[in-house]
Structures are given as structure tokens and as C-alpha cells.
């Protein structure tokens, strides 16, 4: 074998060694766990993130994400009054470390498409079937909470469904118009009831005020009847000293009349000294 042949052989050996070295190592990125597969056999223990070694050419390490993932999902369901309801939502989920190997072995491809999406569809249909289309629109949060709880029950601990966000609930245009018209009528009826209650309160207040004034008049009348001199006393107390005023007292019969004589004209001024 010539020199050139030996050089080629050495080059081949070097290439094989480099490839073997490359095949003998792996790196699991942050947020992922590695599933080790050797000649079609899956290891029961996942590989943590970071650098590691493996058997070259016969072993591969498949990355599986364990961080939270958000996926869009559009679902169709029917209400209790048989109205079609289209729901657009976002699903937030993650794969627990303990489920990495099982998910890889038992659910081929994307676990969201294979496991989560069908369960969410099923849960949503069960929840919306118990509500009318109008209530589904009004009770968005309740629909979301019940759908999330039902989905978790169906999936179990295999995957963690963190949350379901209802982005949009769409009804037929005719049904939306009917619901809007009904809501407007309800608002107008509520306004009419408020106006009626306000008028009733004002009427009741006026009655109470009138009764109070009547009672006050009755009390004053009884006081005047029982005390004849009371009105004269009030007149004197309220006289301003300027207006001319002559007031007669009680009846003149029997010689017991009592007249109150107040000066006429302006208040009296000091008289001039008498001439001597």
C-alpha cells in the first residue's frame, strides 16, 4: 500500500472517530427533558437538561418540553336550546417531568392534538349543553371554570392544564340580534320600574309631610284654644316697633276686655323741653 493509501485510511479513521465522538454526546436544552431511545427501546428514566454521553450510533435522545405551552383551539358546541356556539380559546398546559417518558411512549406525535384537544372539546360540549345560548354569552367565566375543571378530570395527572382562556364566543347573527333586543327591553323595563319606585317614594314622602303639617296645625290650634292669651303674646314678640298696630283684646262684655295699644308711626323720639 502506498503513502496515499495510508493517508486515506488515516483520514477515514479520523472521520469515523469524529462522528463517533459527536454521536456519543448530547445536550438537553433548558425547559426540556430527554427521552433515551436505544435500538427502539425507551429508557424509563428521562435525561435532565444539560450535557451528557450516550452510546454512539445506536442511542438517540429525544427532547420533550416541560415548560408551559400555549395553543390556540377553536371548538364547536350546542346550547341547551339547540343553538350552535363557536368558541375560540387558548389552552395553557405543561407536561410534568413524571409524565415525559409515558407521554412519549403512549401518545405518538403532539400530546396536545392527541390528548388535550379532544378532552377540551368533549368538556366544552358537556358544559354548554346545560346552558342556553344567552346564558353561555352572559356567563363566560362560569363556562370557562366548568370547562377547565371537567377537562382536568378527564386528563387526570398525566398533563397539567394550567388554564383555558375564552377569547371569543360567536352565535348566529339572528340569535345575537334577538339577544341584544331582549337585553334592551330588559334595560328599559328596569328603568321604568326605577321611575315608578321613585314616584312612589316621592308620593309617600309628600303624604308623610302633609300628615306632619296637619298634626302641627292641630297641636297649635289646641294650644291657642287652651291659652287665649298666647296669640297676643306672639303678636307682641313679633312686632318690629315700626308698623302701626292697634290690637283689640278679648270680648268687651263684662268689662273684662284687655286691649293692647301699640304706638302708631315711627318709634317715638325724645320730646322737646317745655317752654317756661
Dist CA 145 CA 276 (whole Å): 114
Q: pLDDT at residue 45 above 70?
A: yes
pLDDT for 276: 44
CA nearest neighbour of 22 among 47, 49, 50, 59? 59
CB-based contacts of 259, cutoff 8 Å, min separation 6: 246, 247, 248, 249
pLDDT tens per residue, range 88-129: 999 999 999 999 999 998 887 789 998 999 999 999 999 999
Dist CA 210 CA 174 (whole Å): 54
The set of cell numbers assigned to 11 is: 483520514
Which of 108-117, 140-149, 213-222, 259-268 shows the lowest mean pLDDT across its residues?
A: 259-268
187/255: higher pLDDT: 187
Specify the 3-state DSSP secondary structure of 80. Answer: coil
% the chain with pLDDT above 90: 40
Give 237's pLDDT tier (boundaries 50, 70, 90).
low
Dist CA 44 CA 70 (whole Å): 27
Q: Are strands 84-94 and 69-78 parallel, antiparallel or unpaired?
A: antiparallel
Locate the domains of the chain by residue range: 9-65, 69-171
For the chain, counts of helices (H) and of strands (E):
8, 10
pLDDT tens per residue, range 166-182: 999 888 777 666 666 66
% the chain with pLDDT above 70: 68
CATH of domain 69-171: 3.30.479.30
pLDDT for 186: 64
pLDDT for 62: 93
Which of 57-71, 115-129, 193-207, 262-276 shows the lowest mean pLDDT across its residues?
A: 262-276
Q: pLDDT at residue 206 above 50?
A: yes
202/148: higher pLDDT: 148
What is the arithmetic mean of pLDDT over 196-212? 83
The phi, psi pair for 63, rounded to 5°, reads: -75, 140
Give 155's pLDDT tier (boundaries 50, 70, 90).
very high
The set of cell numbers assigned to 91 is: 389552552
Dist CA 94 CA 89 (whole Å): 17
Dist CA 203 CA 192 (whole Å): 17
Q: pLDDT at residue 221 above 80?
A: no
Dist CA 3 CA 56 (whole Å): 31
CA nearest neighbour of 75 among 111, 127, 110? 127
By CB atoms closer than 10 A (0-12, 13-18, 19+), residue 179 is: middle
pLDDT for 254: 47
State the pTM of this model.
Answer: 0.59
pLDDT for 141: 93
CB-based contacts of 179, cutoff 8 Å, min separation 6: 133, 134, 137, 171
CB-based contacts of 50, cutoff 8 Å, min separation 6: 27, 28
Q: Which residues pair with 160 in a beta bridge?
A: 94
Give 159's pLDDT tier (boundaries 50, 70, 90).
very high
What is the arithmetic mean of pLDDT over 28-51? 93
What is the arithmetic mean of pLDDT over 137-145? 92
What single-letter DSSP state applies at residue 253?
G
212/179: higher pLDDT: 212
pLDDT for 207: 84
pLDDT for 44: 92
Residue 210's CB is within 10 A of a number of other CB atoms, namely 10
271/160: higher pLDDT: 160
Amino acid at each position: 500500500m502506498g503513502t496515499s493509501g495510508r493517508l486515506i485510511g488515516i483520514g477515514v479513521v479520523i472521520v469515523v472517530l469524529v462522528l463517533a465522538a459527536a454521536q456519543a454526546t448530547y445536550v438537553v436544552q433548558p425547559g426540556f427533558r430527554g427521552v433515551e431511545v436505544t435500538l427502539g427501546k425507551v429508557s424509563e428514566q428521562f435525561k435532565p437538561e444539560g450535557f451528557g454521553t450516550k452510546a454512539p450510533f445506536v442511542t438517540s435522545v429525544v427532547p420533550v418540553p416541560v415548560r408551559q405551552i400555549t395553543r390556540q383551539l377553536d371548538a364547536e358546541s350546542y346550547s341547551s336550546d339547540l343553538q350552535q356556539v363557536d368558541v375560540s380559546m387558548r389552552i395553557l398546559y405543561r407536561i410534568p417531568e413524571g409524565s415525559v417518558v409515558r407521554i412519549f411512549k403512549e401518545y405518538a406525535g403532539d400530546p396536545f392534538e392527541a390528548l388535550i384537544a379532544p378532552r377540551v372539546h368533549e368538556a366544552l360540549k358537556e358544559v354548554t349543553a346545560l346552558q342556553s345560548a344567552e346564558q353561555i354569552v352572559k356567563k363566560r367565566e362560569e363556562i370557562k371554570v366548568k370547562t377547565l375543571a371537567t377537562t382536568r378530570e378527564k386528563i387526570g395527572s398525566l398533563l397539567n392544564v394550567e388554564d383555558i382562556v375564552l377569547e371569543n364566543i360567536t352565535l348566529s347573527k339572528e340569535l345575537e340580534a334577538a339577544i341584544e333586543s331582549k337585553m334592551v327591553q330588559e334595560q328599559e323595563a328596569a328603568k321604568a320600574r326605577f321611575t315608578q319606585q321613585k314616584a312612589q317614594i316621592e308620593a309617600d314622602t309628600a303624604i308623610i309631610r302633609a300628615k306632619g303639617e296637619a298634626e302641627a296645625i292641630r297641636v297649635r290650634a289646641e294650644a291657642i284654644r287652651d291659652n287665649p292669651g298666647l296669640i297676643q303674646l306672639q303678636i307682641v314678640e313679633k312686632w318690629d316697633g315700626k308698623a302701626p298696630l292697634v290690637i283689640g283684646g278679648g270680648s268687651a262684655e263684662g268689662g273684662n276686655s284687655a286691649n293692647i295699644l301699640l304706638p302708631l308711626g315711627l318709634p317715638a323720639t325724645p320730646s322737646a323741653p317745655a317752654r317756661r
